[in-house]
Amino acid sequence: MLLFMKTILAAFGLSDLPLTTPVLEIDGKETSLPDHSGPVAGLPGLTVRYEAKQQPGSAFLRYRFTVSAEQGYRFLLTKTRGTEGITYGTLTLPEQGTLTEVRFSEFDERIHSYRMVERPVGRRWDGQQLMGPLLAWEAADQSQSWVWAYEHGSQTPDAFLAFRPQGKKQINLEAVKGNTCRDQVLDADHPFVSVYFQLGRVAGGLNQLRQAYRRFLLRGQTSNQATRQPHLFYNTWNFQERNATWYGKKYLDSMNQARMLAEIDVAAQLGVEVFVLDVGWFLKAGDWEVNRERFPDGLEAVRAKLRGFGMKLGLWFNPTAVAVTSRLAKQSPETRVTWKGDLPGPWKIWETEESFNHCLVSGYEDLFAKRLIELNRELGVTYFKWDAVGQYGCDSPLHHHGDERHTSAERADAYAYGLPLALARVADLVAEACPGALCDFDVTEDKRAVGLGFLASGKYFLINNGPYHSSFDDKLVNGGGMGANVLAFPGPARPRFLRTPLDYDTWIPSTLFLSHYLAEGSQGSQIANLASMFLGQNGVWGDLLALTNEGIAFWGEAVRRYKIVREAITQAFPERTGDPGSSPEIVEKLDPETGCGLISLFSSMAVPVTYVTRHRVKDAGWALGPVTVERLADGCARLTFSPGEENPDGVFGRIGVEAALVLFGTAEE
C-alpha cells in the first residue's frame, strides 16, 4: 500500500496514518496516483501535484491535489464502472477505537437553521454512506484521536463527497456526484483540482480533538483573519421587513440617507462596528451602483459618518442577480442560467428592477468579483453580504459545468458541486485585492451550500428570524409575527432559538455564524439578548430609532465591557450546562490561561441556582442581571443566579424571562 503524500505526511508527523493515494478512473482504467508530486506511472504526459498548508504549531493540515496533462496530451476522466470514478483516499482504522461522524449541515426546521450533529458510527457500518464532512476517530484508551474531513458544502443528506466504509476496517472518501462530468477532458488547459481535505491528530480523546480542531478553524484554516474577528454587526433588514409587514409600507421605504444617518448615530452608541445596508442601496443588480434617488451624494454622507465613528460599511448583494437593463446583462448574455430547457425569470429583486440569474460557474463569477473589488475602491465597502444563492440553479451546456454530451441532471449536479468552490474563489479574490475585507454567505434558508469549504474564505450568516409560521404547519401566516416569521419580538424566546445552533461552537467557532439579536424591549430582554449575543454570533437587529436613550446606554455599556475580553471569549471552548430552554442553561467561555471571559445564565424558573466555574477567573467579575459572584480560594468563582418572575415582554402571563451574564477580566484601573 502506498502512503499518501509520504513526504508531506512525514513532515507533519503523520506518516504512520495508513492513508492511500487517490484513485481516479482515467481513460477507462483505475489509476492510483503516485505518493509524491510528479509523473503518473503508466500514463505518459500526466502529472500530479500535491499541496499542503499548515499553520506553525498546528496539529492539522489542509491538502489537495491537481492532476494535469502536459501540452499536447489529452485524457478523459471516465465513469465506466457505475461509480463516480474518484476515490480520494482510503484510510485503514486502527484496531481499537470509536468513530464519530460530525455533520455541519443538518437543516432543522424546528429552528429553521443549520446546525451541527455528531453521530457515533456503530460497528455495523458496512454499506452506510457517511456524508460528514468530518470523521473523528478516538482510540479506545483515549491516547490519541484524529480528524479526516473535506472542504465542500451541501445540505445533508445531499452528498457530493462521502465517506464509505469498506469491510470492517477501511473507509473510502469518494466522489458521490458532480465532482467531474462523465468523460471530462483532462488536458493542459483543463486540469482536475480536488477540494481541500483536512487531516490531523492530537494526543488525547474526542474532547481534546474538538478543542484543537476548533483552534485550527479559528487560526489555521484561512489566511483571511478578518473573517474570524468578533466584530459587532448591524443589518437594516429587520426594520425594512417591519415596514412591509406591520406598517403597510414598502421594504425599501426606509432605505434612504436620512434614515441611515439616524440609524448610524444609534448603532455607534450600541457599539456596532460594521453597519450593513441590506437590499435597496443599489439601482440595478449586476451593475451594483448606488441608487442616487435614495442617496443623492452616492453614500458620501453615510461613509463620512461611519468614518467619524470608526465603523465599517457593509452592503447586500445577490451574487446571481443581473438586472434586465444593466450593462452587465448586455456584456455577458451567455452566462444567464438555463433550467430544463428554459431561460427562467426575470424576477423582481425585492422592489428593484427585474433581474435574471447568471451562472456562478460560467466565468460570470469573475465579473462579480471584479465589481466587488471596484466597490471597495469606490465606496470603501469591506463587508459583502451575499444572499439568495441556492445550491442548484443552472444546467446550461454552454458554461463550465458540463456540455452537450451530458444530461441536464449531470450538468445541474456539476453546477451544484462547483457553486461553493466558486463562491469561495470570489471571496478569496476580494480578500486578496482588499485586505481586511470579508464576504458573508447567507444560509438563513435551506438548500444552501453549507460545509467546511466556504469557511476557508469567509463566514456564514446563519439566522435572521428563525422559523416561520409554516415551520409549525401554522396556516395563520399573518398571525402576528413578522409576516411569515414568528420570532420577531423582544423577550427570551427569540434568543433561545438563536442559541440552539451554538452547538457548532464545540467544533467551529461561533463567530463564523452571524445571527442577529434585538436591542429593544425591557432591560430583562436586553440582558437575555446580550448574554446570548456575546456567545459569538454578534449581530444587532431591530428598529434602532425606537430605542430609548436608557436602553441605548444600557446596551452600549455592556458591549463596551464585552469588547475588553471578546478575544478571550472567541478563543474559549464552550462549557455548557443544559440545552437552550433548560432551567438552568449556563454557558462558560473562559480562557483557562488568563481567566478572562464570560458566563451566560438563563432560566425560566424563579428558583435560585448556584454554579461554580470550571476555570479560574481573573477578577471579581462585572455582572448584569440577578447574579452574584463569590471568588473561591482555588481561583474559580461561585455564581448565585436568582431569576425572578417578571417578564414584561412576555404574553399570556408566561414567565421565562430571566437571564444574567458575568464578564471576567474587564476591571478597569
Residues that bind Zn ion in the complex, under the rule CB under 5 A: 359, 362, 394, 396, 399
The answer for residues whose C-beta is within 8 angstroms of residue 482's C-beta and 6 or more apart is 238, 241, 242, 245, 246, 465, 488
Least CB distance to Zn ion at residue 337 (A):
6
Judged by DSSP in three states, 352 sits in strand
The Cα-based distances of 315 to 81, 288, 319, 387 in angstroms read 48, 10, 12, 11
270 vs 394, beta carbon nearer Zn ion: 394
Q: Which lies closer to Zn ion via its Cβ, residue 328 or residue 587?
A: 328
Pairing of strands 312-317, 438-442: unpaired
Select 115 or 399, whichever has its Cβ closest to Zn ion: 399
Closest to 257 measured CA to CA, from 285, 287, 277, 235: 277
What is the smallest separation between the CB atom of 322 and Zn ion, expressed in angstroms? 13
Residue among 276, 198, 197, 241 nearest 440 (CA): 276
Dist CA 17 CA 165 (whole Å): 17
Please name the amino acid found at residue 341. Answer: G
Closest contact distance (angstroms) between CB of 21 and Zn ion is: 32
Question: What distances in angstroms separate CA 203 from CA 97, 461, 592, one per listed residue?
Answer: 14, 34, 19
- Distance in Å, CB of 335 to Zn ion, minimum: 7
Residue closer to Zn ion, measured from CB, 242 or 336: 336
If the CB atoms of residues 91 and 337 are measured against Zn ion, the closer one turns out to be 337
**Rounded to the nearest whole angstrom, what is the least distance from the CB of residue 400 to Zn ion in the complex?**
7
Helix axes 364-379, 408-433, angle to 10 degrees: 30
CA distances from 263 to 164, 276, 546, 560 (A): 52, 11, 10, 19
Residue 545 contacts residue 269 (beta carbons within 8 Å): no
The CB-of-362 to Zn ion minimum distance in angstroms stands at: 5
**CB closer to Zn ion, 201 vs 358:** 358
To the nearest whole angstrom, how small is the minimum distance from the Cβ of residue 174 to Zn ion?
A: 25
Give least dist CB 306 to Zn ion, A.
Answer: 37
Alpha-carbon gap, residue 600 to 614, rounded angstroms: 14
User: Helix 523-533 and helix 549-571: axis angle, to 10°?
Assistant: 20
User: Which residue is at the shortest CB distance from Zn ion?
Assistant: 359
- Nearer to Zn ion by Cβ, of 332 and 362: the residue is 362
Dihedral sign of CA atoms 250, 256, 259, 263 in order: positive
Instruction: Supply the minimum distance, in Å, between the C-beta of residue 361 and Zn ion.
Output: 5
As a whole number of angstroms, the distance between CA 102 and CA 116 comes to 7
Fill in the amino acid letter for 276: V
Report the residue number, 359 or 627, with the smaller CB distance to Zn ion: 359
> Smaller CB distance to Zn ion: residue 326 or 362?
362
